[in-house]
Amino acid sequence: MGTAGTSTDETAGERRRLINVAYRLLGSLADAEDAVQEAYARWYALPRSRQEEIVSPGAWLTTVTGRICLDVLGSARARRERYVGAWLPEPLPGSRSGSLSESLSGSLSGSLSGHAGRDHGPGTDPADQMVLDESVAMAFLVVLESMTPAERVAFVLHDVFRYPFAEIADVLGRTPAACKQLAASARRRVGVARAPVPASGQADMVRDTVRRVRKAWETMDIAALVDLLDPAAVMTADGGGVAGTVLRPIEGGTRIAQYMLAIARMAPGLELLERPVNGAPGLVAEHAGGVVTVASFEVADGRVSRIWVVRNPEKLRLWTRDG
């Protein structure tokens, strides 16, 4: 345990870790910031005497943030039933100044009750506090969407952040044994999706494949594009009913290639740029100086097996600002 009480600076310093937790729970940086802001609002609403009684303010903030995220996930399931087309997590841009590509040994490598990331205050841009690793890969976040809210909270807190089940129980309002079962159930859903971090050579192969996709698209080389796509590839797009795109996944490498080239023909002036997306090689489409599309890829054996395309402008605000 420890001595009760904390300074304002110490409490504010938990923000970076909380943003990282909340984004992985919600798949939206905007929602993550709202959840963390609400947790801080509840902390500062406590009487000073109550704050001083709390042995670990960081653990208290994490518990409250987790509960808020659990509520958001529950309501999000209903909202997404009304969502136009497929719903995809909000993509994160690469670093503007190196902050997004900080060492991955920060808050993710230790317990949630540790002291990682205490160098950021509450006014800091949440995007600058994100640690990018395999737990924010689009493929991984999409798998998390298949879980129940309780499974997702138990799995992310335990398997990603190494939070003990005894403390997760406080978040979920269940026994540690029940939380352990929830994490195990979630783990079965993930299956092979939670793969080890790719070796350097593998990462280079992914980058090269994405680059070749861009070149084939720019030169309208459908044969090269088809060759780069797995025959069983799937492309999922998220326009949110605001930006035009396919409402259902496109299956098959040939059909995806035909769709991509049709877009190229219909959108003159569209520029495709190679940019990191959620810490991995991706493509960003710009038109008239603004980002209109962000695409992330899953690559196996030099061929693209999955493409996730985000066109909903509400999910591209970070990119528009950076663009």
pLDDT one-digit tens code per residue, 245-265: 888 999 999 999 999 999 888
How does DSSP classify residue 307? E
Reading the block at residue 66, the tokens are 């987790």
Backbone conformation region of residue 2, classed left if phi is above 0, alpha if psi is from -120 to 50, else beta: left
For 1, 80, 85, 236, 247, the CA distances from 241, given in Å and listed in that order, are: 50, 12, 7, 14, 9
Report yes or no on 91 lying in a domain: yes
φ, ψ (nearest 5 deg) of residue 112: -65, -15
pLDDT of 129:
54
In this prediction the pTM is 0.81
Tell me, what's the pLDDT at 297?
96
Per residue in 36-62, pLDDT tens?
999 999 999 999 999 999 988 999 999
Mark whether 162 and 212 lie in a shared domain.
no
pLDDT of residue 266: 83
Q: Which two tokens stand for residue 134?
A: 């395999």
Could you count the other beta carbons within 10 Å of the beta carbon of residue 6? 21
Domain count, the chain: 2
The Cα–Cα gap between 230 and 226 comes to: 8
Asked whether the beta carbons of 221 and 71 are under 8 A apart, the reply is: no
How far is residue 319's CA from residue 123's CA, in Å, rounded to a whole number? 20
Average pLDDT over the chain, rounded to an integer: 82
Please check whether residues 69 and 106 belong to one and the same domain: yes
Q: Kindly state whether residue 3 falls inside one of the protein's structural domains.
A: no
Residue 127 has pLDDT above 90, yes or no: no
Residue finishing a domain among 146, 161, 193: 193
Model confidence band, residue 78 (pLDDT cutoffs 50, 70, 90): low
Burial class (CB in 10 A: 0-12, 13-18, 19+), 263: middle
Q: pLDDT tens digits, residue range 259-286? A: 999 988 888 888 999 999 998 999 999 9
Q: Are 296 and 213 in contact (CB under 8 A)?
A: no
Of 177, 193, 209, the residue at which a domain comes to its end is 193
Using the 3D structure, point to which of 193, 220, 244 is the last residue of a domain: 193
Q: Where in the sequence is the domain holding 155, given as residue range(s)?
A: 8-193
pLDDT at 304: 96
Mean pLDDT over 183-201 rounds to 68
Domain co-membership, 127 together with 237? no
Are residues 31 and 157 both part of a single domain?
Answer: yes
What span, in angstroms and rounded, lies between the C-alpha atoms of 257 and 107? 40
Q: Are residues 38 and 168 in the same domain?
A: yes
Measuring CA to CA, which residue among 317, 310, 290 is closest to residue 89? Answer: 310
If asked whether residues 161 and 276 sit together in one domain, one would say no
Same domain, yes or no: 281 and 224: yes
